[in-house]
Amino acid sequence: MKKVITYGTFDLLHYGHINLLRRAKEQGDYLIVALSTDEFNWNEKQKKCYFTYEERKQMLEAIRYVDLVIPEENWEQKKEDVREFRIDTFVMGNDWEGKFDFLKEYCDVVYLSRTPEISTTQIKDDLGK
Ligand code: C2G
């Protein structure tokens, strides 16, 4: 079984995220999503999520491409996650191109193109109009 992992906040979930998750799953047979906790988002990414971790986790678990959701609590856990879950391929959107190449020592690293026209910021701006 080929195992894939990806990381993110996934708040306000939208079709750009779904495009990413679909293509991440195509890289193997089993997809783990490491979902940023509320604390990690606030302390490390200065992101205040609209939906809580539990709400975002529930939504991700309802997506057909996602097999397991685990918490992302810090920047350093990726190497340990890859080892613990015996990951074959690490996937991220190409806004992170090159940032996680250190993982190439442990697994394949794939950066997929983002869906350009959609973002949570765009959604919030449009709703504010
Ligand atoms: N994404 C995408 N297209 C978009 C928006 C997002 O392909 N229009 C991808 C991102 O490239 C990322 C994933 O969807 O791979 C999740 O996006 P975010 O929730 O914004 O993730 P981010 O906050 O960048 O967290 O340790 C890594 C971080 O946790 C990544």
Given pLDDT bands bounded at 50, 70 and 90, which one contains residue 62? Answer: very high
Token pair in block for residue 83: 């080892």
Cα separation, 85 vs 70, in Å, equals 11
- What pLDDT shows up at residue 90? 98
pTM of this structure: 0.96
Ligand 1 atom 4: the closest Cα is on which residue?
Answer: 16
Amino acid of residue 33 = V
Per DSSP, which regions of the chain are E strands?
3-8, 30-36, 68-72, 89-93, 108-112
Identify the pLDDT of residue 100: 98
pLDDT at 129: 73
Q: Which helix (H) or strand (E) is 71 found in, with range?
A: strand 68-72
Mean pLDDT of the chain: 96
Give ligand 1 pocket residues (Cβ under 6 A): 7-10, 16-17, 20, 36, 45, 72, 92-93, 95, 114-115, 118-119
At 126, the pLDDT band (50, 70, 90 cuts) reads very high
- pLDDT score recorded for residue 75: 96
Q: Which of 2, 45, 99, 124 is catalytic?
A: 45
Using only C-alpha atoms, what is the Rg of the chain? 14
